[in-house]
Amino acid sequence: MKTIKHEIKLEKSVKIILAVFAIGIFLNAFSSPISKELLGTSEAEASLGRAHLPIHIVCLKGCK
């Protein structure tokens, strides 16, 4: 029985684009811990208004 082997060769530009996507996804996964450590963001600075606060919506006549 013969084995058939298929190889897919990608162009250099496609490999570069895929590498950039992979690096971007990897950095996005660790963006919060890295930025806190490298930039020195602390809870005290976050309380000064740098953090996003939740928005509360109050419905006076009922929400639909």
Q: Is the pLDDT of residue 63 over 70?
A: yes
Q: Among residues 21, 24, 1, 5, which one has the least CA distance to residue 13?
A: 21
pLDDT tens digits for range 27-52: 877 776 666 666 665 555 555 555 56
- The answer to whether residue 30 sits within a structural domain is yes
Per the structure, the count of domains in the chain is 1
Tokens 């602390």 appear where? Answer: 42
> What size, in residues, is the chain?
64
> Residue 54 — pLDDT band, cuts 50, 70, 90?
confident
Give the domain range for residue 16.
12-48
Angle between helices 12-29 and 31-39 (to 10 degrees): 70
- To the question of pTM greater than 0.75 for the whole model, the response is no
DSSP tag of 30: T
The answer to whether residue 63 sits within a structural domain is no
CB contact at 8 A, 13 and 21: no
With beta carbons less than 8 A apart as the criterion, state whether 41 and 50 touch. Answer: yes
